[in-house]
Structure 1
Amino acid sequence: MRADAQRNYDHLVTTARAVFAEEGPDASLNEVARRAGVGPGTLYRHFPTREALLVAVFRERILTLCGQASEMTLAEWLRVFLVHAQTDGGLSATMASSSGLDCHALLRSAAGGLLAKAQEAGEVRADVEVDDLFQLITGLAQAPRAQRLLDLALEGVMR
C-alpha cells in the first residue's frame, strides 16, 4: 500500500472507531468519511462493506488491548479490558468469526500471562482462574458503576 493510502486507511479506522463508539455499529459510513475528511469513494475503496470497516476497527482494538498487557499490572489491564467490554456494543460476537482473528484466544493469552505473573509474585490468590476474570468483566460491563464494582472485586482477588 502506498504511504498516502496507508495514512488514509489508518485515519479512516481511527475515525470510524470514534464514530462507532458514539453512534454504535450502525453509524453512517458517510459520517465516517465526512469526519475523516475524505470522500465516500475513498472510504469504500478501502472498506467495500460496513463489516469490513467494523472488522478493521475491532481488530485494532483487540490487538491494542492485548499489546497493553505487557506494560500493565493485572488490575490495570482488567480496568482497560472492562472499558473495552463496555464499549464493545456487541461487536465481539459479530466480529470474532469474520475478523480472521481469534479474539478470545488472544485476550485469554494476555489475561493468562498477567494472572500467572501476579500469582507467582503472590499478589493474586492461587485459586483465581482466567475464566473467573472473564466472567467478572463480562458481568460488570453491563452494571452501573462498573469500575467501582471492579475495584471492590479486585480487593477479593488481590492479596
Structure 2
Amino acid sequence: MPDPSGRRVRADARANEDKLLAAAALAFARDGAAATLKQIAEDAGVGIGTLYRRFPTREQLVDATYRYETARLCARTSPLLRDLPADRALRAWMSEVLDYLAAKHGMAETLKALLRDDERLGSQTRAQLTDAVEEFRLAAVAQGAVREDVASSDILMALAGVTLAAGDVRQRAQAERLLDLLMDGITRPGRWRAATGS
C-alpha cells in the first residue's frame, strides 16, 4: 500500500504508523501542546526511533495525524448508516466530530502554521467533511427524516458554530445539547424531539 508520498509501505510499517497516529491523536486530545513524542511512542508501543524514522519532525507528525483523523472520521459514515437510521447516524457522527476536534485543538499552534503554508490542506478537509455530511443527508432525506431544503454545507457550518461556541472539553454537555438543537432544526417538524423523547 502506498503512503501519501506514493511510496509502498510494508504491512508491519503501516501497522506501526497507524498505531503512532492513533496514539498521537489521543495524546494531543489529552495533553494538548504538552504532548511529547516520547510519550506518543510509548503509548503506541513502539520505540522513539520508529517514530522519528517515520516522522522526523513534530510538524510532520501533526500533519499526518490531522489527515489520519479526518480520514478516519469520514470513514465512519458507512458503519453508522448501516447500524442506525440516517438521522440518528448523523447525530452520532456529530458527537464523534467533537472528539476529532479535541485532538485538533491539541495540535492548534502547529496545525495553524501547516494550514497557512498549505492552503490545499484546509480545502481538502472541508471537502471531505462536506462529502461525509452529504452522505448522511441524502440517506436521511430518502428516509423522510431530514428536510430536503437543508444543504450539507449549511449543516457543516452550523456544526462548526457549535464547536466554536462550546468546543472545550469542559463544555461537552452543552455541546451535545446544542447538537440536539441543530438536529431539531434540520429534521422534519417534531421528528427529532419525538425520536429522542425530549
**Do both share a fold (TM > 0.5)?**
yes
The alpha-carbon distance between structure 1 residues 93 and 116, as it changes in their structure 2 partners (threshold 3 A), is farther
- Report if aligned partners of 1:12, 1:43 keep a CA contact under 8 Å in 2: yes
Decide whether aligned partners of structure 1 residues 75 and 7 sit closer, same or farther in structure 2, where only a CA change above 3 A counts: closer
Could you report, residue by residue, the CA deviation over 1:97-119 in whole angstroms, capped at 9, with x for unpaired residues? 37598111111111112212222
Q: Is the Cα contact below 8 Å between 2:141 and 2:147 reproduced in 1?
A: yes
The one-letter amino acid of 1:148's match is R
Q: Which moved more, 1:146-155 or 1:120-129?
A: 120-129
Structure 1 residue 28 corresponds to structure 2 residue 39: no
Residue 43 of structure 2 aligns to a residue whose secondary structure is helix
Equivalent residue pairs, number: 159
Pairing partner for 2:161 from 139, 143, 158: 139
Whether 1:117 and 2:139 are equivalent positions in the alignment is yes
Which of these residues, 38, 48, 51, is aligned with residue 43 of structure 1? Answer: 51
User: Structure 1 residue aligned with 2:65, among 45, 57, 60?
Assistant: 57
Local SS of the residue matching 2:75: helix
Q: Which runs of 5+ in 2 are unaligned?
A: 1-8, 81-85, 189-198
Q: What amino acid does structure 2 have at the position aligned with 1:152? A: L
Separation in 2 of the partners of 1:28 and 1:86? 17
Q: Distance in 1 between matches of 2:123 and 2:181?
A: 33
One-letter amino acid of the structure 1 residue matched with residue 95 of structure 2: R
Deviations 1:116-145 (A, max 9, x none): 222233211222112221222112113131
Looking at structure 1, the residues matched to 113 and 151 of structure 2 have their Cα atoms a distance apart, in angstroms, of 26
Distance 1:99 1:52 in 2: 13
Match of 1:6 among 4, 10, 14: 14
How far apart, CA to CA, are the structure 2 residues paired with 1:100 and 1:139? 17
2:165 is equivalent to residue 158 of structure 1: no
- The structure 1 residue matched to 2:149, chosen from 127, 132, 138, is 127
1:94 positional shift? 5.1
- Does structure 1 residue 77 correspond to structure 2 residue 99? no
Question: Distance between the aligned counterparts of 1:9 and 1:101, measured in 2?
Answer: 25
Percent sequence identity over aligned pairs: 36
Say if 1:25 and 1:54, in contact at 8 Å, map to a contact too: no
Name the aligned partner's letter for residue 69 of structure 1. Answer: T
- Cα distance in 2 for partners of 1:135, 1:128 equals 12
For 2:129, the aligned partner's letter is L
The answer on whether the counterparts of 1:15 and 1:35 sit within 8 Å (CA) in structure 2 is: yes
Structure 1: gaps spanning 5 or more residues: none
Between 1:129-138 and 1:100-109, the stretch displaced more is: 100-109
Query: What TM-score results when the alignment is normalised by the length of structure 1?
Result: 0.83
TM-score normalized by the length of structure 2: 0.68
For residues 3 and 115 of structure 1, the distance between their equivalents in structure 2, rounded to whole angstroms, comes to 35
The SS at the match of 1:127 is coil
- Is the 1:13–1:57 contact (alpha carbons within 8 Å) kept by the matching residues of 2? yes
